[in-house]
């Protein structure tokens, strides 16, 4: 689930911002222990919330940031495979 950071950014730009936060701050502390779960990142504060589903990670973030607007949140699966599968059909077939 990707939302633009503000009305001027594209989905691609929002995804890049979220991925940069994930790579810079979170990957090393979340992987491999939490692979298969989801992380919701509040982009303005760089706080993150982990849950067993997209819905639960999102709920945890919303409890702390109830005013988060469209584009303030980036959610992804925890693991490199989740991103690869989301972006390329060939890599999704390789996971089957």
Residue 1 lies in a domain: no
Residue 73 lies in a domain: yes
- Is there a contact between 56 and 42 (Cβ–Cβ < 8 Å)? no
Residue 4 lies in a domain: no
Nearest Cα to Cα of residue 26 among 74, 66, 59, 60: 74
Residue 25 lies in a domain: yes
Give the domain range for residue 65.
Answer: 11-95
Residue 15 lies in a domain: yes
Confidence of residue 87 (pLDDT cuts 50, 70, 90): very low
Residue 40 lies in a domain: yes
Pairing of strands 38-42, 73-77: antiparallel
Cis peptide before 14 (omega within 30 of 0): no
Residue 30 lies in a domain: yes
Alpha carbon of 31 to those of 25, 49, 72: distances in Å? 12, 14, 23
Residue 69 lies in a domain: yes
pLDDT in tens, 42-66: 888 999 999 999 999 999 999 999 9
Confidence of residue 11 (pLDDT cuts 50, 70, 90): low
Domain count, the chain: 1
């Amino acid at each position: 689930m990707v939302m633009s950071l503000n009305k001027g950014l594209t989905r691609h730009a929002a995804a890049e911002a979220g991925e940069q936060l994930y790579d810079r701050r979170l990957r090393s502390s979340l992987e491999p222990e939490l692979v298969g779960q989801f992380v919701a990142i509040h982009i303005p504060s760089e706080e993150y919330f982990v849950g067993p589903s997209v819905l639960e990670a999102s709920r945890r973030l919303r409890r702390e940031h109830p005013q988060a607007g469209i584009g303030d949140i980036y959610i992804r699966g925890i693991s490199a495979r989740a991103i690869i599968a989301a972006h390329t059909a060939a890599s999704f077939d390789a996971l089957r």
